[in-house]
Amino acid sequence: MDSGQNILTDKTPSALFLVLTINPGGEGAVRDALEGLEGLVTTVSSRAPEATLTAIISIGSDAWDRLFSGPRPAELHPFVELTGDTHTAPATPGDLLLHIKSSRPDLAFEVGRLWTATLGDAVTTVDETHGFRYFDLRDLTGFVDGTENPAGDDAVQVITVDPDDDPEFAGGSYVAVQKYVTDFPSWNALPVPDQENTFGRSKLENVEMDDDTKPSNAHTALTNLPDVDGQSQEIFRDNMPFGDIAGDGEKGTYFIAYSKTPAITELMLRNMFIGDPVGNHDRLLDFTTAVTGTQFFAPSTDFLADLPEAPTAPSEEPTEDASPSDGSLGIGALK
């Protein structure tokens, strides 16, 4: 099986998320940057070999055919916007996602700075979010994030496209990202028992409620997806808190989910925003708002090391000269 990118790392103290769109004519520069990313990470890592540094590059549906000829990942498509009775998960632009993780924020910043510099005006940055680890892996609501993440070999199976399903893109992963901005005055005014009912877990101990006491609109109730055999369908979340302190600066959670198929993440989001049953939306959404939504595919390292040929530009057919061969303007010409 082709090797996947280095997705399954321990939670690092910092992360940088860059979502970019490709400007017209910028495809060649992007291809060069894709090929050069691994070397760039190696160069920056050499300044602090003891520090964890990794960068995962993913490509959106609309950009794929602009960059590569040949087949495309079987399930790659744009983010599906969801509009429920109360809340909306918007779809927003994004051709490239660079997810940089590091134990030092300066290393993550340097990779992002140097890589975007190589791209120049070939791209436009539509979102730049700097994430940080918050206490014992909690988000800014005070609850532990990523409790249900798979680990070890299970995690590899959860995020990796199987060669039997899509042999051309085995080893890759589908990626969905959303930026959630939280209304902290409203959240902090909520009594802790109500906060716990919203998540379906205790706040301090991080113990999940049993099914008899958990509200049907709790976050964990709507995002737990058993399959036909009763086994949980899983994704790997690598969420990070983000935020500005002063004034009305945005604060919240950057949601990022890696999976072997986008269908699982999409069903989770449908349950959250549309409801299960319809109208029974995720109570957490009453306090946090999704402001972005994009979907990508993170190809294997083998794919990135040997990119497919660029698509061939359509040939321009010569326009037929409508002028008469005798040099006249054709005025009054006999038909």
Please state, in angstroms and rounded to a whole number, the distance separating the CA atoms of residues 290 and 268.
Answer: 14
Residue 175, SS3? Answer: strand
Quick one: CA torsion of 244, 183, 124, 173, rounded to 10 degrees?
110
Please state, in angstroms and rounded to a whole number, the distance separating the CA atoms of residues 127 and 77.
Answer: 20
The catalytic residue among 145, 166, 238, 282 is 145
> Is residue 145 among the annotated active site residues?
yes
Quick one: CA torsion of 244, 10, 57, 128, rounded to 10 degrees?
0
The string of DSSP codes covering 98-134 is EEEEESSHHHHHHHHHHHHHHHGGGEEEEEEEEEE--
Return the axis-axis angle of helices 105-119 and 27-45, rounded to nearest 10°.
150
Residue that the structure tokens 């999409």 belong to: 266
How many other CB atoms are found less than 10 A from the CB of residue 96? 24
How long a stretch of residues is the chain?
Answer: 335
Please state, in angstroms and rounded to a whole number, the distance separating the CA atoms of residues 37 and 111.
Answer: 9
CB under 8 Å to 111, separation ≥6 — which residues? Answer: 16, 40, 41, 44, 53, 55, 100, 102
In the structure, how many helices (H) and strands (E) does the chain have?
A: 9, 14
Please state, in angstroms and rounded to a whole number, the distance separating the CA atoms of residues 54 and 93.
Answer: 24
Report CA 105 to chain centroid distance, whole Å: 20
Please state, in angstroms and rounded to a whole number, the distance separating the CA atoms of residues 173 and 296.
Answer: 9
Active site (catalytic) residues:
145
